[in-house]
Chains A and B, each alone.
Chain A
Amino acid sequence: MTFFKQIALMLSIFLLIILTTVLALNFTSANQSVQDRLYEDAKNTATSLSLSLGSANGDISMMSTMINANFDSGNYQFISLIDVDDKVLYERKAESIQMDVPKWFSNIIDIKAPIASANVSAGWSQVGMLNVQSDVSYAYKQLYTVFKNLIISFSILAFVGLVLLNIILAAALKPLKRVQLQAEAVTRNEFIIQEEIPRTKEFKDVVLGMNNMVSKVKAMFDKGNAELKRQKELEYTDPATKLRNRKYLIDKLPEYLKIDATSRGGVEMMISISGVIEANEILGHQKVDKLFIDIAKIFQECANKYENSIVARMNGTEFSILLPDCKADDAKTLACGICEEADKLIKDNTLDTKVTFVSVGLYEYNYKQTIGQLLSMCDNALTQAKFNTPHIHLDKAETATEVMGKDAWREIINKALQTNSFRFTFWSVVNVQNKEIDHDVISITMQTADATTYSYGQFMASAHQVGLSSKIYQNVINMMFTSPDISLKGKTCSLRLSYEYLHEQNTYKELTQLFKNHASKLPFKLILEMPDKLVRQNSQEIQLYKKLFETYNIEMGIFEFIGENVDYKYLQDIRPIYIKAEASYFISQSDQAISSLRLITDSIGISLIATSVMDTQTLDKLEEKDIHIIQGRATENFI
């Protein structure tokens, strides 16, 4: 129960008690006053009647008449005349009492009409005692009217009082509400500064304290952000040409060389500029640098035609252009164009193209290759190119004979989709510090009609190739929500969503519907992982996903992080629960870069998780970098 509700309840009860007490006192006083009135009336009658009876000189018939006259003209319960021996001389009693009030009222309220007495004498002799009691029905009626009026007026008072109390309390506790919102925001790692400082001293101190704290955390985040940006600029950018550098290419290549990569393969160009020393002697360093920049522009223009291409300067004289989804022939045409353009520039700078020239080694790669293979094959092609005329050489990866063709895969996957033959498998993400499972990663397998089971790695590449990966995700997510695995009850599980699936037009709509119908029944805590490539765009689409996830208490994680962005504000906006990056990424980062990243993530409560941790050596290196949560084969040592 909130503080406001507690205070409101307490004061309301207090107010109602006061009002009820006042009502009760008022009613009791009215009751007493009615009873007093009853007595006064009876007493007046008794005294005046006893004086009259005295004049009858003990004549009973005369006295009876006098009593009758009085009794009939007024409201009396009874009038009796008792003689000195306590014998009733004459008595009149009301035959029935007509109550004009509800029965419950007369049952609850006990009105006692007191008996008033007066001595009756005739001359010096005593006649007896006259007793008079007033009729209570009139008193009941009067009291019931008083009661009704009291209830009405006190109900109005109570209502007005409670409304006023609520308004006053809401106004008085408004600053507290703002403090609460600010505190909640801090819990969510949001930085809200309260501009309006409350006047109440206690609230004022709390708000100032919170503002101070939030400002410090915000400053810490900004500092980390600025530092990381600076680091990234130094780490991933070639200062002369402003192109990416070798490190960037190496960190980025895993994204292209993986089973579920968006691109199945392409061409990697390795370009070398020969005769630089001679050029320097003729033109001087400055002009040669300018020439390099101009040549780099040519590379950039060529690469721009291909989505997700990377242009990087590998060293002083070598450049690389990664062209995903580029055919060998197209690349060769492109390489010819580059050579021609470069030669033209070299000639324009009055240099000899026989001495200073550009060589392009082309290598057609596929996603199954390793980074080492790719680079060494490119180097080979480049070496060869330098001896060719024109200086271009193309090598192709030996295409492994596919067991099944595209059509066969399409048929198998389609069947699996129709028969819903996907199953979940799990592996754990472990915190090596406390040796506890951080969460379980959900993966999928596919079973065919002939009982063959394909792992994610086996079928997902082909699914991408035949354009069915999004359908698989759709199917799997649907399955996870509609028939969740009960054995996961109480656990935290993550599921990776691909860039392509999230980019599908209907995905957001379908997820919304699915969450609406089933999210509340999910027996485990779910983290949906989104690729950094998508999240870092911080687009409206991502904001929508974030809101959707928040609504249904689903966390968002980030995978394939390489800290590429120039600004990390998106991390603050999105506030993922964790960031997953390849172990090699963390290991290759400088201590300064890692601590800058930590400054950001720690200030907003994001965990860092290393993936593909295969052996203890990698694990040790990660521990040196202060990365303790791991995913990969090495986790087996801790489970």
Chain B
Amino acid sequence: MGNIKKLLFLLGLFGYILMAKEPYVDKQLQDRIAKKYKIFAKKRFYYLQKTLDSVQNGTDFEKLDAVNRFYNDVRYASDMKVYGKKDYWATPWEFLGKDRGDCEDYVISKYFALIYLGIEPKKLFFTYVKSTKFKAAHMVLTYFKTPRSEPLILDNNNRKIFPASKRKDLIPIYNFNGESLYKVSKSGANKKVKSRKSHKKWDQLKLNMKRKKI
């Protein structure tokens, strides 16, 4: 009997190893980050992984909330201050490594973390908005449960997630979904090719992600 228990335990362990999800930041990348941004950065990524693991089996909203809260703890800083450039879209590793960034960097990091958690990319949009409170151009991540439903706004200025109708301080200007821009259209133009490019900033970000820029 004892033997059967042992066997079952071993089978369970084996199954768990097989089924276990790859970490959001792999070991090799973690070492590189630790080397570049020192031990605190490594810790931040450790807590990120812990946060993500905690909502792995949660609802979409729980995932959105956890990710939003985690990243909103990062301090805001302009691109000019952090990167010496007027506008730069940082990879999630640069953002959390430096532990600072501007609104696009929050949106990007939240987007990829949510994708990691299994949220469908077509539900997430990068939305250019105007903040009436700060009277400035701003960007938020929007979540559409269905294409026609009211979106939820993930904003770095607000720790809580609200539906769009509750955010009177934001005026939407333009939104895009990087992945959907790559999709081959089913309309009459299916004989033609879709460009491998979609959005200049987005394309550059994807390239940086591929190169694992930290």
Residues of chain A having any CB pair with chain B under 8 Å: 39, 42-43, 50-51, 54, 77-78, 80, 82, 84-86, 88, 91, 93, 112-119, 121, 123-126, 129, 131, 133
Which B residue sits closest to A80, measured CB to CB?
B187
Residues of chain B with a CB closer than 8 A to A85's CB: 147
The interface residues of chain B lying within 8 Å CB-to-CB of A84 are 147-148
B193 proximal to A (CB < 8 A) = yes
A–B complex contacts, Cβ < 8 Å, 22 sampled: A43-B197, A50-B174, A54-B174, A77-B189, A85-B147, A91-B188, A93-B188, A114-B195, A114-B197, A115-B185, A115-B194, A117-B181, A117-B183, A117-B194, A118-B181, A119-B125, A119-B174, A121-B172, A121-B175, A126-B175, A129-B185, A131-B185
Taking the complex as formed, is B142 at the interface, i.e. its CB lies under 8 A from any CB of chain A? yes
Query: Among residues 178 to 194 in chain B, which have CB atoms less than 8 Å away from a CB atom of chain A?
Result: 180-181, 183, 185-189, 192-194
A255 to B154, CA, bound (A): 131
**Contact indicator A133/B172 (Cβ below 8 Å):** no
With contacts A54-B174, A121-B175 known, what are 15 further pairs, Cβ within 8 A? A43-B197, A50-B174, A78-B188, A78-B189, A80-B188, A116-B195, A117-B198, A118-B181, A119-B176, A121-B172, A121-B174, A123-B164, A126-B147, A129-B180, A129-B185
How many residue pairs, one in A and one in B, have C-beta atoms under 8 Å apart? 88
Q: How far does the Cβ of B9 sit from chain A's closest Cβ, in whole Å?
A: 49
Are A124 and B151 within 8 A (Cβ)?
yes
Q: How far, in whole Å, are A118 and B173 apart by their CA atoms in the complex?
A: 13
The distance in angstroms between the C-alpha atoms of A129 and B147, with both chains bound, is 12
| A112 touching B194 in the complex, CB below 8 Å, given contacts A78-B188, A124-B142 | no
What's the Cα separation between A518 and B165 when bound, in Å? 112
Measured CB to CB, the closest approach of chain B to A140, in angstroms, equals: 15
Residue in chain B with minimal CB distance to A86: B186
Task: Identify whether the interface residues of A are mostly helix, strand, loop, or mixed.
Answer: strand
- Assuming A51-B174, A54-B173, A116-B195, is B147 touching A131 (CB within 8 A)? no
Which residues on the B side are within 8 Å of A42 (C-beta)? Answer: 195
Identify the closest chain B residue to A46 (Cβ).
Answer: B181
- Residue on B nearest A124 in the bound complex, by CB: B164
Q: Pick the residue among A77, A117, A126 that contacts B148 (CB under 8 A).
A: A126
Contact, CB under 8 Å: A39 / B172: no
- Tell me, yes or no, whether B150 is within 8 Å of chain A by CB: yes
Whether A88 pairs with B180 at a CB distance below 8 angstroms is: no
Knowing A115-B195, A117-B194, the reply to whether A131 touches B174 (Cβ < 8 A) is no
Chain A min CB distance to B148 (Å): 6
When the two chains form their complex, are residues A119 and B187 in contact, meaning their CB atoms are under 8 A apart?
no
5 closest Cβ pairs, A-B complex: A84-B147, A114-B195, A124-B164, A119-B176, A117-B181
A531: min CB distance to chain B, Å: 92
Task: Assess whether B30 is interfacial by the CB under 8 Å rule.
Answer: no
Give the Cβ gap from B84 to chain A, nearest Cβ, in Å.
27
- A121–B148 CA distance with the chains assembled, in angstroms: 11
A126 to chain B, nearest CB (A): 5
CA distance A114 to B198 in the complex (A): 11
Contacts of A114 in B (CB 8 A): 192-197
Knowing A39-B197, A84-B148, say if A119 contacts B192 (CB, 8 Å): no
Flag whether B24 is at the interface (Cβ < 8 A). Answer: no
Chain A minimum-CB-distance residue to B167 = A124
Cβ contact of A119, chosen from B180, B196, B197, cutoff 8 A: B180
Q: How large is the interface on B (under 10, 10 to 19, 20 to 34, 35 or more residues)?
A: 20 to 34
A191 to B38, CA, bound (A): 90
CA distance A113 to B194 in the complex (A): 9
Query: What's the minimum C-beta distance from A383 to chain B, rounded to whole angstroms?
Result: 127
A80–B28 alpha-carbon span in the complex (Å): 45
Residues of chain B within 8 A (CB-CB) of A88 are 187-188
Which of chain B's residues have a CB closer than 8 A to the CB of A39?
195, 197
Asked if B176 and A118 sit within 8 Å, CB to CB, the answer is yes
| Contact status B181-A124, CB under 8 Å | no
B144 interface residue, CB < 8 Å from A?
A: yes
B174: chain A residues at CB < 8 Å are 50-51, 54, 119, 121
Q: Does B78 contact A (CB under 8 A)?
A: no
| B51 touches A (CB below 8 Å) | no
Complex interface: chain A residues within 8 A of B185 (CB): 80, 82, 115, 117, 129, 131
> Is A125 in contact with B148, judged by CB distance below 8 angstroms?
yes
- Most B Cβ at <10 Å: residue of A85, A116, A121, A133: A121
A119 near B177 with CB under 8 A, answer yes
State whether B187 touches A86 (Cβ < 8 A).
yes
What chain B residues lie within 8 Å of A86 (beta carbons)?
Answer: 186-187
Q: Shortest beta-carbon distance, B201 to chain A, in Å?
A: 12
Q: How many whole Å from B132's CB to the nearest CB in chain A?
A: 14
From A80, A88, A118, A125, name the one whose CB has the most chain B CB atoms within 10 angstroms.
A125
Tell me how far the C-beta of B56 lies from the nearest C-beta in chain A, rounded to whole angstroms: 28
For A129, list chain B residues within 8 Å (CB).
Answer: 180, 185
Chain A residues contacting B164 (CB-CB under 8 Å) are 123-124
Q: How distant is the Cα of A116 from the Cα of B203 in the complex, in angstroms?
A: 13
Q: Specify the chain B residue showing the minimal Cβ separation from A93.
A: B188
* Distance of A528 Cα from B142 Cα, bound (Å): 110
Residue from A51, A119, A123, A124 whose CB has the most chain B CB atoms within 10 Å: A124
Residue of B nearest to A126 (CB): B147
Q: Are B189 and A115 in contact (CB under 8 A)?
A: yes
Q: How far is the CA of A113 from the CA of B142 in the complex (A)?
A: 32
Q: What is the CB-to-nearest-CB distance from A195 to chain B, in angstroms, rounded to a whole number?
A: 70
How many Å lie between the Cα of A50 and that of B164 in the bound state? 21
Give the chain A neighbours of B194 by CB distance below 8 A: 114-115, 117
Task: Give Cα A274 to B158, complex, Å.
Answer: 160
A379 to chain B, nearest CB (A): 121
Among A50, A126, A129, the one with the most B-chain Cβ atoms within 10 Å of its Cβ is: A126
A137 CB to closest chain B CB (Å) equals: 14
Give the contacting residue for A124; candidates B172, B177, B180, B196; CB below 8 A: B172
- Give the shortest distance, in Å, between B203 (CB) and chain A (any CB): 11
